[in-house]
Structure 1
Amino acid sequence: MYPFFFATVLSKLDPEFAHHLAFDVIRALPKLRLSSAIRKHTRPTTDLSVSTLGLTFPTPFGVAAGFDKDGKAVIGLGLLGFGHVEVGTLTAHSQPGNPTPRLFRLVRDRAVINRMGFNNGGAADASKRLSKIRHVAHRPVLGVNIGKSRVVKVDNAIDDYLTSTKLLAPVADYLVVNVSSPNTPGLRGLQELDKLAPLLTAVKAEAGSTPLLVKIAPDLSDDEVVRIAELVVSRGLDGIIATNTTISRNGLVSDRAVIDAAGAGGLSGAPLAARSLEVLRVIRRVVPSSLCVISVGGVSTADDVAERLDAGATLVQGYSAFLYLGPLWARQINRGLSRLRAH
């Protein structure tokens, strides 16, 4: 049913408009009197819970940052079967993001190109909203992803991140430092060790008891990934999220004119799967088994999720396939994992 609806209706709409349309429906789900029935329909059929970061995740599968920028649909996403929702990226200053159009589908590749630019209402606004979510029964685990405000110079990034940390660490189950989006000028330069080390040290101190992770890019070399992983361990962080979107356009099958028309931005979806899995394996070779490693990039099926878990992922996130597979996607993943574990 959904594939037909996507092909005949959603694929004809502007991608960002279609996203907002679907988002509004998901946001409205908790207001319906069918919440219990929806939850029963989407929850795993066997115990898939994962204990990490001092938390219990009802399923290893969650939705990556970017879908719910401001934390407005957390409960609805949980009803759809996601075990955790990572909101954001949030910045200390509210910002509109980059000019539109800024979201593009590559349907033949089952991929998305975005140059959203951290459009969000700001950390202060989100903290008020998220503080209420923390007390909602049956909610998913709540992650909060923070980034640098566009109006702030890279040299002043630490103070900017600390402003967000002060506001958001108290309302987050875990916090993520995003230094890997390609859509904020200068941001990826913060992955260089001389800049990353003081940033992570400062944010960790401010975050207090809230678990802290860092999200890295797939375009790093394996040696760079190893050095960041070693830094994470030495500075006492709780985990790594691998990976963000890529600036590479290698291996795409979409028409070159379609790719060129989309322009700059981060590519996500199926073409990212191989590199995301490689980065996961590189990280897992050099970090303790106790460190939380969240794998994201190119995940579509329960088999994909199981492959990441078998390769050492603690948790797995998805986003782009949501556009192509529809609202029952998380349910399909959870039911698929339940069947795989039963065999």
Structure 2
Amino acid sequence: MYALLRPLLFTLDAEKSHHLAFSLAHKAFRLGLLPKLNHVTKPHTVIGLTFPNRVGLAAGLDKNGEHIDVLAQLGFGFIEIGTVTPRPQSGNPQPRLFRLPQANAIINRMGFNNLGVDNLIENVKRSQFVKNGGIIGINIGKNADTPIEHAVKDYLIGLSKVYAHASYIAVNISSPNTKNLRDLQSEDALDNLLSQLKESQLQLADKYQKYVPMTLKIAPDIDSEQLTIIAELLKRHKIDGVIATNTTLDKASVTHLPHGDETGGLSGTPVRDKSTQIIKALSDELSSEVPIIGVGGISSGADAQAKINAGADLIQVYSGLIYQGPSLVGQCVQALTPLEQSHGI
């Protein structure tokens, strides 16, 4: 069905197409016409959670948690929603989302557009997927008008609000579309952020009598020295996992294409190898002390295998889903099954 719909969707502005696709999916879901795909493999335990399969949805597709139950029909092992900020914000001016079909890529400068953390929590509480024990990650960020020197406060607000409603929490300091956000990846800033977040996480675990894992999402545009520092801080502060990677600012491979020089983060096939290289380097630095969720440019089962072979424990898809459709989830699950059997996972 997606193969038939895609040409129509691709004639529209990318953001309008996004809303139309979800509108159609919700109508089909309500009418019982959206089949539920089950991709259950040998259960896989990572960051203290047991996943029915290792293929998840990356943050960004469902910023407000409005589509959880529809997305659950696609057979994901877990779903990550957000990025959500303490207060609602409209994000950057439109147009802000661009397809690059020749490269199987997307450029976005959305700017954390969302309806705020309180709205997202209400959506999570209504979700049947969540009520049935589905694994839901909530990705948190800072408001655009919060000065970078006060960013920690926004993350602490987000953490405390979503803690009771998330299976795990992702801390997004790597979007290129919020001014100065990536400065939080520097050694002193990251040390301070992780220290305060870890302290709050432990206090919340005591308050709610349950431990909710916390992960850090990093950018692909970091050098080896910065990566070593990040890996050391992840271990020092006992962060539960790392998501590698977000979008890239390196557009050298697409500048010749229509929209290839747009401002924003580039995702899809052009970031695939860079992301995989970061995963391999992280895996070497972390020595299995901190699990890795691999994301970036996965558009086939082979791409999923490459991320796992590089050292990822789980994977996430987003841009590949836009180009390949829902069948990508099953392709990735099937491709990873032989790895699980051969490695005894």
TM-score calculated relative to the size of structure 1: 0.91
Counterpart CA distance in 1 for 2:135 and 2:279 is 22
Whether 2:44 is the aligned partner of 1:43: answer: no
Asked if the contact 2:88/2:117 (under 8 Å) is kept, the reply is yes
Partner of 1:89: 83
- The 8 Å contact of residues 56 and 77 in structure 2, kept in 1 or not, is answered as yes
> Partners in 1 of 2:340 and 2:229 — Cα distance?
34
1:33-82 CA deviation, whole Å, 9 max, x = no partner? 467xx33xx222x6243101111111101110000101111122121111
In structure 2, do the counterparts of structure 1 residues 90 and 342 end up closer, same or farther at CA, with 3 Å as the change threshold? same
Read off the aligned partner of 2:265 and give its amino acid letter: G
2:260 matches 1:259? yes
**From 112, 120, 127, the counterpart of 1:133:** 127
Residues 134/158 of structure 1: CA separation in 2 closer, same or farther (3 Å cut): farther
Distance apart, 1:236 and its partner CA: 0.8
Residue 145 of structure 1 pairs with residue 144 of structure 2: no
- Quote the residue 1:23 is aligned against: 22
Moved more, 323-332 or 135-144: 135-144
Partner of 2:93: 99
Aligned pairs (5 A) from 1:238-317: 238-252=240-254, 255-260=256-261, 263-317=262-316
Contact 1:71 1:129 in 2 (8 A): yes
Task: Report the residue type matching 1:316 in the other structure.
Answer: I
Deviation of residue 24 (structure 1)? 2.6
In structure 2, the CA distance between the partners of 1:26 and 1:142, relative to structure 1 (3 Å rule), is: farther
Preserved CA contact (<8 Å) 2:100 2:257: no
1:341 Cα deviation after fit: 5.8
Match of 1:97, SS state, is coil
Q: Secondary structure at the match of 1:258?
A: coil
Partners of 2:341 and 2:184 in 1: how far apart?
44
8 Å contact from structure 2 (residues 69, 129) kept in 1:
no
The structure-2 alpha-carbon separation of the partners of 1:33 and 1:5, relative to structure 1 and needing over 3 Å to count, comes to: closer
Q: Would you say the 8 A contact 1:201–1:235 is kept in 2?
A: yes
How has the CA–CA distance of structure 1 residues 337 and 288 changed in structure 2, closer, same or farther, with 3 Å as cutoff? closer
SS at match of 2:10: helix
Question: 1:256 and 1:137, CA in 2 relative to 1: closer, same or farther beyond 3 A?
Answer: closer
In the alignment, is residue 60 of structure 1 matched against residue 59 of structure 2?
no
Asked whether the 8 Å contact 1:3–1:324 carries over to 2, the reply is no
State the alpha-carbon separation in 1 of the partners of residues 129 and 72 from structure 2: 14
Secondary structure of the residue that 2:23 maps to in structure 1? Answer: helix
Cα distance change, pair 79–194 in 1 and its aligned pair in 2 (3 A): same
Q: For the Cα contact (< 8 Å) 2:148–2:180, is it kept in 1?
A: yes
Q: Secondary structure at the match of 1:9?
A: helix
Q: CA–CA distance in 1 between the matches of 2:269 and 2:41?
A: 28
Indicate conservation of the 8 Å contact 2:72/2:129, yes or no.
no
- Equivalent position of 2:105 in the other structure: 111
> How far off its partner does 1:222 sit?
1.7
Identity %: 38
Post-superposition offset of 1:9 = 1.3
Compared with structure 1, are the counterparts of its residues 115 and 198 closer, same or farther at alpha carbon in structure 2 (3 Å cutoff)?
A: same
Aligned partner of 2:320: which letter? Answer: A
Find the counterpart in structure 2 of residue 13 from structure 1: 12
Whether the 8 Å contact between 2:130 and 2:136 is mirrored in structure 1 is no
- Match status 1:326 vs 2:328: no
The alpha carbon displacement at 1:134 in A equals 7.4
Distance 1:313 1:319, change over 3 A: same
Shift of 1:333: 2.3
The structure 1 residue matched to 2:160, chosen from 166, 169, 176, is: 166
Farther off after superposition, 121-130 or 147-156: 121-130
Instruction: Give CA-to-partner distance per residue, 1:278-306, whole Å, 9 cap, x none.
Output: 00000000113242200100001112112
Partner AA of 1:259 in structure 2: G
Q: Number of residues paired by the alignment?
A: 334
Partner residue, 2:222 = 220
Distance 1:222 1:99, change over 3 A: same
Unaligned runs of 5+ in 1: none
Structure 1 position 258, deviation (Å): 3.2
Supply the distance in 2 between the matched residues of 1:43 and 1:226 (Cα, whole angstroms). Answer: 39
TM-score, length-scaled by structure 2:
0.91
